[in-house]
Structure 1
């Protein structure tokens, strides 16, 4: 099972071409900003939102399930999930090593590039990811710092 940083924006999740826009709009309407916020939202709350049908709800649960997450998690469950399994990749002070942070920045940028290609150039998802990988790899070879668009 993959793990994900639950403090990332919910927009980093991809719910598939049929449901992504709908689910993202529902999250925006409910002011769900992060994956953590989404996990703490109950299934009942989401189901009662306009435009959130059974298929969208199922897709949301499936995507969260890929990461060992679910709707309706308690604060304690979310905190436990966010706790690192291993401290090997951390500095003694408890902060992530710069290399780990840089890698996460590059992954985030890769996702953003792929999403932009998918949406603006109507590329198939697999092709968009391949192009994003090529682009990010070229940038990494130049040793350019990853500048987030936040």
Structure 2
């Protein structure tokens, strides 16, 4: 299977919503809607000062997503990193790492010094992924000004310091 990572286009809006909400609600039982999230109903507008990427298979189906929301000149938030179930653990494609490296390259080009993210308690594989990639667990009180945190109990917050 061949996967390409591309900058988001509105033609993928519904597929992105379906992927994200399916994982949030069917797998993690978070009970969220698109309207509960500041970015999901209008991805292009929300990420206009940042970037959002989709990973597409040969049939133009969204297999993964990742976004970067700037907070200020030096800090940004990694948002909406989701993979279709069929992509998780696939060492041949290693889609999570490719999506993350795409975001990381962009963040370095923009000269960000920190990338922040939050993730729900049941996302154990995501926690391991972020920690393997150098993110540190941070207290909720340490989030930068302007960071919109999801209202989810036990949310884990991570920070990656870039050189």
Whose strand fraction is larger, Structure 1's or Structure 2's?
2
Rg larger in structure = 1
Shared fold (TM-score greater than 0.5)? no
TM bucket, shorter chain: under 0.3
TM-score (norm 1): 0.26
